[in-house]
Amino acid sequence: MLRESFRVLVGRRPAPRLGRVTPTHKMPDETAARRQATIVEINNALCVARCSAQLAGMETREFVVRELMLTVLQQIDRAAAGVRRL
């Protein structure tokens, strides 16, 4: 009786019922998500290294150039560590 009260009527007839609906999105695969996160980290590290290298090339003061080049080396090492995790 309770089901009767929730039926949708089209004219005098009950509306057709929809079948089961499958989900449109599935949970991401853990391996694929980890791989994607590693690729993003590598991309970010390489972008930082590129920017640091450009700044180092434009800078004329020796101390600042040395510090910027140290940053380049650190970021490149970070990218290499990310590649090894792939």
Examine residue 3 and state whether it is found in any structural domain, yes or no. Answer: no
DSSP letter for each residue of the chain: -HHHHTPPEETTEEPPPP-PPPPSS-PPPHHHHHHHHHHHHHHHHHHHHHHHHHHHHH---HHHHHHHHHHHHHHHHHHHHHHHH-
Examine residue 17 and state whether it is found in any structural domain, yes or no. Answer: no
Task: Report the number of distinct structural domains present in the chain.
Answer: 1
pLDDT tens, residue by residue, 1-24: 445 556 666 677 777 776 776 767
Contact yes or no for 86/38 (Cβ under 8 A): yes
Nearest Cα residue to 49 out of 26, 69, 66, 19 = 69
Examine residue 76 and state whether it is found in any structural domain, yes or no. Answer: yes
Examine residue 4 and state whether it is found in any structural domain, yes or no. Answer: no
The residue range of the domain holding 41 is 29-86
What is the reported pLDDT for 53?
80
pLDDT tens, residue by residue, 52-64: 887 777 776 778 8
Enter the pTM of the model: 0.54
Examine residue 24 and state whether it is found in any structural domain, yes or no. Answer: no
Question: Is the model's pLDDT at 26 over the cut of 50?
Answer: yes
Examine residue 80 and state whether it is found in any structural domain, yes or no. Answer: yes
Confidence band for 75, pLDDT divided at 50, 70 and 90? confident
